[in-house]
Amino acid sequence: MIVSYGFKASILAQEQSIMPNYLLGGSINFFTQKNTYPLTGIGIISGIGGIYSNRTNDTKNLSFSFSPYFGKIISEKWLAGLLVDFRIGKYEAANTIVFPQGNLVDFERNSKQIGFGIFGRYILNPSNMLKLYLQPSIQYYLLNEKEKQNTIETEEEKANYIEIGSQVGVLYMINGFFNATMRIGGLNYINGNWKIVGKDTENDFSSFNSNFNVANIYFGLEYKF
C-alpha cells in the first residue's frame, strides 16, 4: 500500500510539472476593397491631416496586419502579456480631386505602423473546448504615411498615439498545447498627435468608437508551454 501510494504521488507531481504556464501566439488581419470610399478601413488608412474625395473612377484599398504576442497564464480564466502590432496599407485612387486643388490626379497613400502594448484576457467559460473571452489592451503606436500625386511624393505625415480598447473573441482548444483563435474589434479610445514632415503643421486628435465589422476580424494560432 505504501509503495502504491508513493507511485501515484510521483505521477501526480510529474503531471503538474508539465502543465503550461506561458503562451506564444500571433494573429493576422487582411483587408482589401475596390471602388468605394474606405470607411471600413479607416484604421491605418486614416488620412490623418488630409482630406480627399474621389469620383466614380477606380479606387483600391489594401491593408495587412500581423500581431505577435507573449503571455503568462495566471489561472484558467486569466492571462496577461505583451504584444507587438505591425500594419501596412496602401490606398490608390485614379483621376481624383485632392482639396483644395481643382485638377484631377492619380492619388496614392502608403502607410506603415508599429505598436507596442500590454493586454489581459478573461475567459468566460474555461471548462469548454470552445471558449469565449474578453481582451482589454493599451498600446502605443507610431504611424508614417506618404502621399503621392501622379507618382510624385507630395507629403509625408507622422503620428503617434495611444489606443485603449477591448476586444471579444473565441478560442478553440486543438489539444493541450495549441489554440486556434478569432477576435474582433470592440470599444476603443485613441488620443495622439499628427504632423506634416517639413512643415509647421500639426494637431492633436482623439476618438472613441465601437468597431464590430468584418474588416476587423483577426485569425490566430497560440502555443502553450
In a domain, 2, yes or no: no
Three cell numbers, residue 19: 502543465
The more confidently predicted of residues 121 and 17 is 121
Query: Looking up cell 480627399, which residue turns up?
Result: 52
Average pLDDT of the chain, as a whole number: 84
Of 15-24, 143-152, 167-176, 191-200, least confident by mean pLDDT is: 15-24
pTM of the model: 0.80
Report pLDDT digits (tens) over 161-171.
Answer: 999 999 999 99
Work out the burial of residue 12: count CB atoms within 10 Å of its CB; fewer than 13 is exposed, 13-18 middle, 19 or more buried. exposed
Determine which of 44-53, 74-83, 132-141, 193-202 has the lowest per-residue pLDDT on average: 44-53
* Count of domains observed in the chain: 1
- Give the domain CATH number at 107: 2.40.160.20
* pLDDT higher than 80, residue 51: no
Instruction: Work out the number of other CB atoms within 10 angstroms of the CB of residue 22.
Output: 13
pLDDT at 83 over 50: yes
* 1 within some domain: no
Residue 106 lies in a domain: yes
Per-residue pLDDT band for 36 (boundaries 50, 70, 90) equals low
Q: Which residues of 121-152 are buried (b: 16+ CB within 10 A; e: fewer)?
A: bebeeeeeeebebebbbebebebebebbbeee
Minimal CA–CA distance to 27: which of 191, 224, 171, 222? Answer: 222
pLDDT tens for each residue of 95-150: 887 777 778 899 999 999 999 999 999 999 999 999 999 999 999 999 999 999 99
Q: What is the domain extent for residue 96?
A: 20-224
Going by C-alpha positions, the residue among 170, 79, 167 that lies closest to residue 128 is 170
